[in-house]
Amino acid sequence: MSSARLAGTVRIVGAGLLGTSIGLALRKQGLDVVVDDLSPANQRLAVDYGAGRAPSTDDEVSLVVVCVPPDVTAKTVALELNANPHAVVTDVASVKSQILSQLAESSCDLSRYVGSHPMAGRERGGAISGRADLFFTRPWVIASNAASSIEAVELVEKLALDLGASPIRVDAQSHDRAVALVSHLPQLVSTLLAARLEHADARDVSLAGQGLRDTTRIAASDAALWLQILSANSERVLPLLEMFESDLATLIEALKDLAKPGALSVIGDLLKRGNSGVEQIPGKHGSQPKQYSRVVVMIDDRPGQLAKLLTEVGEIGVNLEDLKLEHSPGAQVGLPELYVLPEAEVRLVEALAQRGWRIVG
């Protein structure tokens, strides 16, 4: 029995990271999913993975999800609207206005089209990176057009909910302006920064801490895909890059002559503007993160130790809000970080210490 909001057959076109992940998640909900890909090898892989079945000639499709590269998305949406005259069609491309204007030039029935953009992804692409939980708790933009029917919008919203995502209704223009700032600008800045490492001395790079890793992580993303995304949204990214360039030029001028009156305050102001900017970002799931107290316990790096610790935490009666464990190759110990409500911290630390656990932070 299915607990899904959607019903009938869902057809996924394009078995890359997103298409495969959507298929995996919908199959887990017990839905009938058809997965189609121009590449027979990709399609077979997605089917083997459990993302759906191969299409057949008599499929009665209620919803089509187009998950192909941005530059062929509009064309594919038009094809699917015409081939499935009773189905609602959505896509998952990162830029929405260009697709909409391309579709407006076609003679398609746009009442059955609603654009989507799941704010989720990975640096690694392809069906083999697919994950059923990829969209879990992530924003899912629903960008309807002037012609979209209410039923079509609601159906795509059900898709988002069935995937565990949080649907957000935004028009295509506002969406594209937002992603230029929160996705495309960071991508380019990360790329420009990582490019400086290309021919760097390996010994210099070996001193890298977490800051360099975090700031350059997304620079590992698929270059071909990003070329398409940036092409489709260049007019919205450009002014942001130019404002960035202007701040950079001001910074360089100040650093060139630190003795000049005002130079230090220019740099200080910029650093503080960066502080303020970070504060604008809401917590991971859309609200300010709750502050938990952190208790670090040193355990032996052998099987069962962590389970024993957590069992005892349960016995002590403290609820774990979060848990982090970072593997340190070569270390003979593990340092699990337990996050608990602040009022429970002292009690937990005392009880664990009494039981012989070594608290290190």
Q: Which of residues 92-121 bind a copy of itself (CB under 8 A)?
A: 119-121
C-alpha pair distances (Å), 52 with each of 21, 68, 326: 10, 16, 35
In the list 2, 82, 107, 137, the residue contacting a copy of itself (rule: CB under 8 A) is 137
Could you tell me whether strands 293-300 and 166-169 are parallel, antiparallel, or unpaired per DSSP bridges?
unpaired
CB 333 within 8 A of CB 299: yes
Least Cβ distance, residue 195 to a copy of itself (angstroms): 4
Element spanning 268, H or E: helix 263-279
Amino acid present at 293? S
In the range 34-53, which residues lie near a copy of itself by CB under 8 A?
Answer: none
Least Cβ distance, residue 108 to a copy of itself (angstroms): 26
Distance of CA 196 to the CA centre of its chain: 25
Counting beta carbons within 10 angstroms of the beta carbon of residue 47, is it exposed (0 to 12), middle (13 to 18) or buried (19 or more)?
buried
Least Cβ distance, residue 154 to a copy of itself (angstroms): 21
Residue nearer to a copy of itself on the CB measure, 43 or 98: 98
Residue nearer to a copy of itself on the CB measure, 41 or 255: 255
Helix axes 263-279, 234-256, angle to 10 degrees: 140
Question: Does residue 178 touch a copy of itself according to CB under 8 A?
Answer: yes
C-alpha pair distances (Å), 182 with each of 69, 176, 298: 20, 10, 38
Least Cβ distance, residue 51 to a copy of itself (angstroms): 12
Question: Does residue 154 touch a copy of itself according to CB under 8 A?
Answer: no
Residue nearer to a copy of itself on the CB measure, 84 or 98: 98
Query: In angstroms, rounded to a whole number, what is the distance separating the alpha carbons of residues 46 and 50?
Result: 6
Question: Does residue 324 touch a copy of itself according to CB under 8 A?
Answer: yes
In the list 124, 169, 260, 285, the residue contacting a copy of itself (rule: CB under 8 A) is 285
Instruction: Give the SS3 label for residue 76.
Output: helix
Which range, of 36-44, 65-73, 100-108, 178-186, touches a copy of itself by CB under 8 A? Answer: 178-186
Least Cβ distance, residue 1 to a copy of itself (angstroms): 16
Element spanning 314, H or E: helix 305-316
Residue nearer to a copy of itself on the CB measure, 88 or 95: 95
Helix axes 223-232, 234-256, angle to 10 degrees: 100
Judged by CB under 8 A, the number of residues near a copy of itself is 133
Residue 306 DSSP label: H
Residue 32 DSSP label: E
Which range, of 56-64, 66-74, 77-85, 250-258, touches a copy of itself by CB under 8 A? Answer: 250-258
Which range, of 29-37, 69-77, 328-336, 341-349, touches a copy of itself by CB under 8 A? Answer: 328-336
CB 125 within 8 A of CB 17: yes
Least Cβ distance, residue 307 to a copy of itself (angstroms): 4
Least Cβ distance, residue 40 to a copy of itself (angstroms): 25
Residue nearer to a copy of itself on the CB measure, 40 or 361: 361
In the range 50-79, which residues lie near a copy of itself by CB under 8 A?
Answer: none
Query: In angstroms, rounded to a whole number, what is the distance separating the alpha carbons of residues 17 and 121?
Result: 8
CB atoms within 10 A of CB 355: 12
In the range 204-243, which residues lie near a copy of itself by CB under 8 A?
Answer: 204-221, 223-224, 226-227, 230-231, 234, 237-238, 240-243
Residue nearer to a copy of itself on the CB measure, 110 or 318: 318
